[in-house]
């Protein structure tokens, strides 16, 4: 998930520090909607999979999240089809958290609407209504079982990421009108990209042709 905020100077400095950290551990390529990985449910992590290999993947997921400026990232978003997500709701990026096999045990009846973004939907921002509080059980980065009451941004991130683990996205939590608008925005952005790609290749061709004729003139 991404936040809908303009970065200030301190946030930019923090992002640079995170970039340095990220480059050391390696970043994974992001799956962009409508990639199939974002439409398939992830499998639970088995007890025998709780080991160094999982720790390495989780580290790379955190790096990828920091590198791309996200506050949450789920396995399927990097093609890792296991029930794992990472998050950092701290504005300075100093509170990395890992959730293995997370389950929402309880959700508050109070609903809250807030703008969300998603690393798998570049540029898209949409208001999504979700329970304000949730109780989540999970296994943490030290492979210990945990049960947390979550509210605010943490509750929102957890619900957004668990949705990814179920093969869904925030599109599924939008009202039909919001979803229709979001899909129109995605199509529009894609068309713009295609036109931009085409015009830049036309430009490149023109530059090449100009250089050739210049050479000929000489």
Residues involved in catalysis: 161
Q: Which residue is nearest to Zn ion (CB)?
A: 118
DSSP, collapsed to helix, strand or coil, labels residue 157 as helix
Nearer to Zn ion, 57 or 118 (CB): 118
Q: What number of chain residues touch Zn ion (CB under 5 A)?
A: 1
- Token pair, residue 98, equals 């890992």
Binding mask 117-156 for Zn ion (x = CB under 5 A): -x--------------------------------------
Nearer to Zn ion, 33 or 181 (CB): 33
DSSP, collapsed to helix, strand or coil, labels residue 30 as coil
Q: How far apart are CA 3 and CA 91, in angstroms?
A: 10
Binding mask 5-44 for Zn ion (x = CB under 5 A): ----------------------------------------
Q: Please say whether the beta carbons of 95 and 62 come within 8 A.
A: no
Question: Least CB distance from residue 186 to Zn ion, whole Å?
Answer: 14
**Long-range pairs of 174-182 with CB within 8 A, sequence gap ≥ 24:** 174/126, 174/128, 175/129, 178/126, 178/127, 178/128, 181/126, 182/121, 182/124, 182/126
Q: How far apart are CA 199 and CA 207, in angstroms?
A: 12
Nearer to Zn ion, 33 or 46 (CB): 33
List of residues 6+ apart from 133 with CB closer than 8 A? 107, 108, 110, 149, 150, 151, 155
Question: Least CB distance from residue 169 to Zn ion, whole Å?
Answer: 6
Nearer to Zn ion, 50 or 79 (CB): 79
Question: Least CB distance from residue 9 to Zn ion, whole Å?
Answer: 27
Residues 94-123 that bind Zn ion (CB under 5 A): 118
Residue ranges that bind Zn ion, judged by CB under 5 A:
118
């Amino acid at each position: 998930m991404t936040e809908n905020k303009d970065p200030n100077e301190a946030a930019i400095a923090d992002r640079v520090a995170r970039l340095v950290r990220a480059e050391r551990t390696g970043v994974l390529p992001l799956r962009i909607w409508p990639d199939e990985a974002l439409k398939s449910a992830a499998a639970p992590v088995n007890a025998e999979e709780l080991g160094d290999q999982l720790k390495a993947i989780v580290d790379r997921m955190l790096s990828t999240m920091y590198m791309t400026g996200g506050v949450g990232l789920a396995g399927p978003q990097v093609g890792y089809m296991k029930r794992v997500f990472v998050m950092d709701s701290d504005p300075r990026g100093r509170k990395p958290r890992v959730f293995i096999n997370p389950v929402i045990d309880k959700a508050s009846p109070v609903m809250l609407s807030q703008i969300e973004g998603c690393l798998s939907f570049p540029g898209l921002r949409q208001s999504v209504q979700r329970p304000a509080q949730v109780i989540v059980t999970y296994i943490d980065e030290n492979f210990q079982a945990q049960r947390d009451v979550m509210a605010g941004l943490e509750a929102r991130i957890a619900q957004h990421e668990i949705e990814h683990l179920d093969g869904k996205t925030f599109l599924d939590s939008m009202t039909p009108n919001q979803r229709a608008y979001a899909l129109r925005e995605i199509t529009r952005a894609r068309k713009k990209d295609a036109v931009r790609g085409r015009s830049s290749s036309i430009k490149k061709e023109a530059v090449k042709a100009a250089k050739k004729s210049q050479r000929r003139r000489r």
